[in-house]
Amino acid sequence: MQNPIPHPAQGDPSTADRILLRLKTRGPAAASELAGELEMTAEAARQQLQKLAADGLIAGRQAAPPVRAGRPRQEWELTATGHARFPDTHAQLTVQLIGSIRQLFGQPGLDKLIGQREAEMGADYRQRCAGLPSLSRKLEKLAEIRSAEGYMARVEKQGKDWLLIEDHCPICAAAQTCQGFCRSELQLFGEVLGADATISREEHLLAGARRCVYRIRRLAPD
């Protein structure tokens, strides 16, 4: 199930913030789509989009060629500045610390730090998922934990598989500096979900995707 777009009555977020959140969590969209989803007029949507574009937060792009002949449709997507509106936890300090650890203790020292982080997170995740009766419940709990940590995580069913989708990475700067964090998390998810499932990464933020997506396949009856 997709995350709902906040309505003004829910904490009264600004229209601009709602548009940015929509583009962050669901990807590029045309002005007409945004108007319908956000329950506003097409003209109001266009005005908001122009303001966001002028601020450098979004940019227009030509959508894929339409099935029928006609004028190409313009879609809007977040720029790097727009993505930066969503927090990257203590990014500059984290990058500096990683550099210092690598300089003082070498790559083995940094690998040991990542291993310690993985062990602590794994113990916490396993404890919070312990006793859940099914793989689907474990995935829902994992998405809840990750969302609380800033990953904007959700689970979608796709045929016999599940997708764990993370629309944001609050440690992106750290992961760019040391991709061991990403390898660690993939292994961690597998340990939490157990031997009844396999997990693979299908989309990766650091590989140019707009988000990280993991496919989970059940090996035994749930």
Mean pLDDT of 25-40: 90
Tell me, what's the pLDDT at 157?
95
Place of tokens 């933020």: 205
Map out the domains of the chain as residue ranges: 15-83, 91-218
Residue 173: predicted pLDDT:
74
The percent of the chain in helix, strand and coil, each rounded to the nearest 5, is 50, 15, 35
How many CB atoms are closer than 10 A to CB 114? Answer: 19
For residues 71 and 127, which has the higher predicted lDDT (pLDDT)? Answer: 127
Query: Percentage of the chain surpassing pLDDT 90?
Result: 36
CATH class of the domain comprising 91-218: alpha beta
Give the separation between CA 3 and CA 80, rounded to whole angstroms.
Answer: 22
Per-residue pLDDT of 110-126, as tens digits, reads 888 888 888 898 899 99
Residues 128-142 have pLDDT tens digits of: 998 898 999 999 999
Question: Residue 179 CB: number of other CB atoms within 10 A?
Answer: 12
Would you state the pLDDT for residue 166? 95
Residue 184's pLDDT is what?
Answer: 77
Q: Are strands 197-203 and 161-166 parallel, antiparallel or unpaired?
A: unpaired
* pLDDT tens digits, 139-189: 999 999 999 888 999 999 999 999 999 998 888 877 777 777 787 788 889
Mean pLDDT computed over 104-110:
88
- Fold exhibited by the domain 15-83: Arc Repressor Mutant, subunit A (1.10.10)
Q: How many Cα neighbours within 13 Å face the side chain of 23?
A: 28
Q: How far is CA 130 from CA 142, 151, 155, in A?
A: 11, 22, 19
Helix 15-26 / helix 42-54 crossing angle, nearest 10 deg: 80
